[in-house]
Amino acid sequence: MAKTSGGRRSTIRAILGLAVATATVAVGLTGCSADDGGAGGGAGGTVGILMPGVQSVRWQIEAETMTEGFKERGYDTAVQFANDDAPTQVQQMEDMITQGVNALIVVAVDVQSLGGPLADAKAADIPILSYTRLLSDTEAVDYYTTFDYKAYGAASGHSILSALGVEDADGNPTGEKGPFTIEIVNGSPTDSVAYDMWAGYEETLQPYVDEGVLEIPSGQSTFDQSSTLNWTGEGAQSRMENIITSTYSDGTKLDAVWVPFDGMTRGVIAALKSSGIQPGTEAWPILPGGDGELDSIKSILAGEQYSSAWIDVITLADGAVTIVSDVLDGGDWPEPDTTTDNNSIDVPTKLSPVVNVTKDNVQEVLVDSGFYTAQELGL
């Protein structure tokens, strides 16, 4: 695993500070390379990095981390953001293949949409790393590196159960029977990660729904009914506002919302506030999230969001640099932790851990590790 330097953490903090100017940051990264060259410009070659968009600041962080890491290994990068549009990403990949990139790292907008250009890349002997999201229905993928997203989804479930007193801190049932009301604001149906997170929901919360300890008054209890296209905060806010109006306008208390991504949690928070439900009151529900985004960690400290399933995206990005650089230097793909079925082949997979962050461990997990500074978090 590549070592994450203090300088790289500083660069990431700079990106976080510029998150309000998302479009500017995206343009700055698009097409960037280690030495201002295009594909094939570096002494070791060029790695094409395809990111879905800038809706989540993590993609900017990881693109910049990879660019710096590949520069240290002697490789240029060509980075493209697709504005969360699948046809745009298809064209971007085709262009990279034509330009002669030496390897591809892909975070798909739609994991099933890239079969054509992926087949072309495979035919051209271009190594392909599926990053975070599993490229599906294709044999043209060499390796998959990601987080344990089932555990990520389960972390949100355990937060709810612990906060409601249904489970203790170790995840053991307490005998509390409720019933408690919950709603679901799920991830994007175009993203394989959302299905992994849903498996975490089914493992932790569904048994209590089946027992009647948890109830879903809106009736929107399936993956498809609760999904949010492209993980947008606006989509989460709109959906939550509709649920509040249709189901909770009679004063029914909402106890918790299972949300697996910080950006959507902030949308849910906006919906609750616009409906007159305020943090710090008994009416305020338990709200988990995920990714450990700066604004959401601040929200946790302020008592709005309850938790965030934190993933160390810098370490994951550094790991991708090491994996691809080693392959381009003539080495082998690393020994996988497991394999993952993408509907065509079993893809060798490396999993990184997830840590659930609450108000109680922000200092230990995020500040002591150097991911955020105490000043950034107002500590």
pLDDT 10s digit of each residue in the chain, 379 long?
A: 233 444 445 555 555 544 434 433 333 344 444 333 334 444 589 999 999 998 778 899 999 999 999 999 999 999 999 999 999 999 999 999 999 999 999 999 999 999 999 999 999 999 999 999 999 999 999 999 999 999 999 999 999 999 999 999 889 999 999 999 999 999 999 888 899 999 999 999 999 999 999 999 999 999 999 999 999 999 999 999 999 999 999 999 999 999 999 999 999 999 999 999 999 999 999 999 999 999 999 999 999 999 999 989 899 999 999 999 999 999 999 999 999 999 999 999 999 989 999 999 999 999 998 889 999 999 8
Same domain, 180 and 296: yes
Alpha helix stretches (DSSP H) within the chain: 6-17, 22-29, 57-73, 86-99, 115-123, 149-164, 192-204, 206-211, 223-226, 233-243, 262-274, 294-301, 313-328, 362, 374-377
Same domain, 155 and 304: yes
Q: Which string of b and e fits 309-342 if b means at least 16 CB within 10 Å?
A: bbbbbbbbbbbbbbbbbebbeeeeebebeeebeb
- In three-state secondary structure terms, 256 is strand
Read off the pTM. 0.76
C-alpha distances in Å from residue 148, one per residue of 23, 145, 250? 30, 10, 39
The boundaries of the domain holding residue 220 are 149-311+358-367+370-377
Same domain, 124 and 173: no
- Does a structural domain hold residue 36? no
Same domain, 114 and 65: yes
Q: How many folded domains does the chain comprise?
A: 2
- In three-state secondary structure terms, 12 is helix
- Does a structural domain hold residue 29? no
- Does a structural domain hold residue 8? no
To which H or E segment does residue 336 belong?
none
Same domain, 97 and 153: no
Same domain, 300 and 339: no
- Does a structural domain hold residue 33? no
Same domain, 245 and 335: no
- Does a structural domain hold residue 181? yes
Same domain, 160 and 291: yes
Q: Which string of b and e fits 4-36 if b means at least 16 CB within 10 Å?
A: beeebbebbbebbeebeebeebbebbbebbbee
Answer whether 66's CB lies under 8 Å from 90's CB: no
- Does a structural domain hold residue 346? yes
Same domain, 173 and 306: yes
Domain containing 328 — which CATH number? 3.40.50.2300
Query: Rounded to whole angstroms, how far apart are CA atoms 242 and 248?
Result: 10
Same domain, 247 and 345: no
Same domain, 179 and 307: yes
Give the pLDDT score at 248. 97
- Does a structural domain hold residue 7? no
- Does a structural domain hold residue 269? yes
Answer whether 349's CB lies under 8 Å from 333's CB: no
Same domain, 65 and 98: yes
